[in-house]
């Protein structure tokens, strides 16, 4: 039964007008998330429709000449696969780049640019690569490209937010043009899943070399690539001096020249407005069916629905839960509903008072009623989260106690911590409608505990940058465990080595937690790993670095004439086989 306060809050959210302090970014592609990034198995949603307003006899198959338009809420941040770890960027890059191995719709590892792979010993894998693959710039794909990419993403000069995915790799050895060995520091169970991650997208070595050369030039260094690689192998102070000089520039060229082996290639980009991809006709496999795919940035939810209704866009993402029935009942559109391995959360900056006190973090977690957020804001879309892992992620433990709604205990903890009279703080959000409404809800609820919360809304790029820098008190974000393994769902978000932009925006640094997460990624026995992650999740109840809100479903609006489109459990659009009927 819904409480009177819950019904009042729903009315408040619908009518409340806030003046939000906005920090406008420049919208430029940066050379570097969340999500987002970003892991569970998911089934493809049935896209058949019983009713169609068109005359079947007049239907013509125009596959091969279709221009698909998607209305999306946020612009990408970087086209460099070693750049930002956010979902909007990954959704575009996944069409441009390919990985050694891939995950199918059931999150099983399948062939990608590698035709086969086998363990040589506990710490070494041998990959046999696909022959006859060509990059968009006409160069041939070989083992040298694999080596160059894995070394680049881990290069401190690149300072990639995604380096943690591959920091266990100690050596990449080219055996021949189409054979490569990957050696890790220790046995690492999720290695294949990490190689399937968007960060494992293979960028042309010709672009990588040009990227370094441009960085040397911009930094005023007279240095060859061979000299740099030798210096990097040696390490030491001299190398770190060069790193400091070129890190500002490394990635700029690659972000503007995204050359992969994927079935689409970059045609044009207008920052903040749209990114257009066209079919790569020399693709090694079955070519993409659409002639082009346009990612049109439409921040307003109502405008995305209008784009879908009028046919100016064929796909709109996301559809707000409040618009689900409207779009689904429309005679020309429907909603594709996809379960996910994502987490929506509210995080604290544990380096700032009063959030450096775990009792305050626990109290606020206990003051928030997840069910009210899910029912009132997300319209029942998703399930409550008791920790960072969704149920289908390896390592999830359903018996973790969690910090469930308990207002009396919340007041007691605040009093114990010396904040019975409350305090002032801020909560940040981007322009995602549900996140804004969640911020309003939290502001209202915490007001009952004498906690005065100010809300600030930031542009997406600035949001990621400033939370990565630790400028916030509280913020709202999401994370998708794209590998389906607890290592990605917890190590990136919570290990002290990933503080800031790589994922740990709460800046939690706890020795016990670090030891458990280190042990979890080094252990190869599945049962032993499960026990390690059970302990880690229970320990997080005490640490309370964030409020785990829910695991939501992805809601995507689609026009009836669209065929072959689906969204995977990671929130990535599958566009290769899309046609308009």
**292 in helix, strand or coil?**
strand
pLDDT at 24 over 70: no
Would you state the pLDDT for residue 5? Answer: 52
pLDDT of residue 281: 96
Give the total residue count for the chain: 581
DSSP 569: T
* 186: helix, strand or coil: coil
- Residue 113 predicted with pLDDT over 80: yes
Specify burial of residue 162 (Cβ count, 10 A radius: 0-12, 13-18, 19+). Answer: buried
For residue 293, give the CATH number of its domain: 3.40.190.10
Give 244's contacts (C-beta < 8 A, 6+ positions apart).
none
504 and 534 fall within a common domain:
yes
Residue 574's domain comprises: 264-337+557-580
Same domain, 420 and 534: yes
Q: Is residue 469 part of a domain?
A: yes
pLDDT tens by residue, 240-279 = 999 999 999 999 999 999 999 999 999 999 999 999 999 9
Residue 168, both tokens = 């266990």
Residues 449 and 541 in one domain: yes
Question: Same structural domain for residues 420 and 381?
Answer: yes
530 has pLDDT over 70 = yes
Last residue of a domain, one of 203, 223, 255: 255
Residue 453 lies inside a defined structural domain of this protein: yes
pLDDT band at 439 (very low <50, low <70, confident <90, very high): very high
On the question of pLDDT at 292 being above 70, the answer is: yes
Least-confidence region, from 1-5, 150-154, 351-355: 1-5
User: What is the residue-wise DSSP string for 453-505?
Assistant: EEEEEE-HHHHHHHHHTT--SEEEEEEE-TTSBHIIIIIHHH-GGGBTTTSBT
Whether residue 89 is contained in a domain is answered as no
Q: Find the Cα–Cα–Cα–Cα dihedral 242, 244, 245, 249, rounded to 10°.
A: 120
Total domains in the fold of the chain: 3
CATH number, position 139: 3.90.76.10
Same domain, 473 and 546: yes
β-bridge pairing 424-429 and 452-458: parallel
Collapse the DSSP code of 343 into the 3-class scheme (helix H, G, I; strand E, B; otherwise coil) and give the result: strand
Residue 357 sits in the same domain as residue 445: yes
The verdict on 541 and 565 lying in the same domain is no
Q: State whether 160 and 233 are in the same domain.
A: yes
| CA distances to 204, 260, 278 from 281, in Å | 17, 13, 9
Pairing of strands 114-121, 264-270: unpaired
245 with 213, same domain: the answer is yes
- Residue 6 confidence (pLDDT) above 90: no
Q: In the listed set 255, 287, 304, which residue is the last one of a domain according to the structure?
A: 255
Residue 484 has pLDDT above 90, yes or no: no
Within a domain: 247? yes
Domain contains 227 = yes
Q: Is the peptide bond before 297 cis (omega within 30 degrees of 0)?
A: no
| pLDDT above 90 as % of the chain | 81
Backbone phi and psi for residue 302, each to the nearest 5 degrees, phi listed first: -65, -35
Domain edge (last residue) among 201, 230, 255: 255
Q: In terms of domains, do 537 and 419 share one?
A: yes
Residue 136 lies in a domain: yes
45 falls within a domain: no
Residue 14 has pLDDT above 80, yes or no: no
Q: Please tell me the predicted confidence (pLDDT) of residue 461.
A: 87
Whether 238 and 125 map to the same domain: the answer is: yes
User: pLDDT per residue over 186-212, tens digit each?
Assistant: 999 899 999 999 999 999 999 999 999
The pLDDT assigned to 286 comes to 96
pLDDT at position 38 over 90: no
Concatenating the DSSP letter of every residue in 345-388 gives EEEE-TTSTTTTSHHHHHHHHHH--HHHHHHHTSTT-SEE-SSS
Residue 44's pLDDT band (cuts 50, 70, 90): very low
Q: Do 176 and 277 lie in a common domain?
A: no
217 lies in some domain: yes
Q: List the CATH number of the domain containing 525.
A: 3.10.105.10
């Amino acid at each position: 039964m819904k409480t009177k306060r819950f019904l009042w809050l729903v009315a408040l959210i619908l009518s409340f007008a806030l003046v939000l302090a906005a920090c406008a970014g420049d919208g430029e592609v940066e050379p570097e998330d969340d999500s987002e990034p970003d892991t569970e198995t998911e089934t493809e949603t049935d896209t058949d429709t019983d009713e169609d307003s068109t005359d079947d006899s007049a239907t013509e198959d125009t596959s091969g000449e279709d221009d698909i338009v998607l209305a999306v809420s946020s612009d990408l941040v970087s086209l460099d696969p070693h750049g930002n770890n956010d979902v909007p960027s990954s959704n575009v890059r996944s069409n441009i780049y390919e990985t050694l191995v891939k995950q199918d719709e059931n999150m099983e590892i399948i062939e990608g640019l590698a035709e086969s792979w086998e363990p040589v010993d506990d710490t070494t894998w041998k990959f046999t690569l696909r022959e006859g693959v060509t990059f968009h710039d006409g160069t041939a794909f070989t083992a040298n490209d694999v080596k160059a990419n894995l070394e680049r993403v881990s290069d401190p000069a690149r300072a990639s937010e995604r380096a943690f995915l591959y920091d266990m790799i100690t050596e990449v050895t080219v055996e021949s043009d189409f054979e490569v060995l990957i050696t890790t520091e220790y046995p690492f169970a999720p290695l294949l899943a990490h190689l399937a991650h968007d960060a494992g997208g293979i960028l042309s070595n010709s672009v990588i070399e040009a990227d370094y050369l441009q960085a040397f030039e911009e930094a005023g260094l007279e240095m060859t690539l061979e000299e740099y690689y030798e210096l990097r192998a040696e390490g030491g102070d001299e190398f770190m001096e060069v790193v400091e000089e070129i890190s500002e520039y490394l990635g700029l060229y690659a972000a503007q020249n995204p050359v992969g082996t994927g079935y689409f290639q970059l045609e044009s980009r207008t920052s903040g407005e749209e990114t257009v991809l066209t079919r790569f006709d020399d693709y090694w496999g079955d070519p993409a069916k659409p002639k082009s795919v346009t990612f049109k940035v439409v921040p307003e939810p109502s405008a995305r629905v209008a784009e879908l209704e009028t046919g100016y866009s064929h796909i709109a993402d996301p559809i707000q839960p409040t618009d689900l029935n409207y779009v689904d009942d429309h005679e020309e559109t429907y909603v594709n509903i996809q379960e996910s391995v994502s987490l929506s959360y509210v995080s604290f900056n544990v380096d700032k008072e009063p959030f450096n006190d775990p009792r305050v973090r626990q109290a606020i977690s206990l003051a928030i009623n997840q069910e009210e957020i899910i029912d009132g804001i997300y319209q029942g879309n998703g399930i409550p989260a008791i920790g960072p892992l969704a149920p289908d992620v390896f390592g999830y433990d359903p018996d973790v106690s969690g910090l469930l709604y308990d207002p009396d205990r919340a007041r007691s903890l605040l009093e114990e911590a010396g904040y019975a009279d409350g305090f002032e703080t801020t909560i940040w959000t981007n322009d995602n409608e549900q996140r804004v409404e969640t911020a309003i809800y939290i502001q209202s609820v915490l007001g009952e505990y004498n906690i005065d919360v100010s809300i600030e809304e930031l542009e997406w790029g600035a949001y990621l940058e400033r939370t990565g820098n630790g400028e916030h008190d509280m913020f709202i974000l999401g994370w998708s465990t794209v590998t389906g393994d607890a290592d990605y769902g917890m190590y990136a978000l919570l290990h002290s080595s990933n503080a800031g932009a790589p994922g740990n925006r709460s800046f939690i640094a706890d020795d016990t937690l670090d030891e458990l997460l280190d042990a979890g990624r080094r252990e190869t026995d599945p049962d032993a790993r499960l026990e390690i992650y059970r302990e880690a999740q229970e320990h997080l109840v005490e640490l309370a670095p964030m409020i785990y809100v829910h695991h939501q479903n992805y809601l995507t609006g689609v026009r009836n004439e669209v065929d072959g489109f689906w969204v995977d459990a990671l929130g990535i659009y599958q566009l290769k086989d899309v046609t308009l009927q």
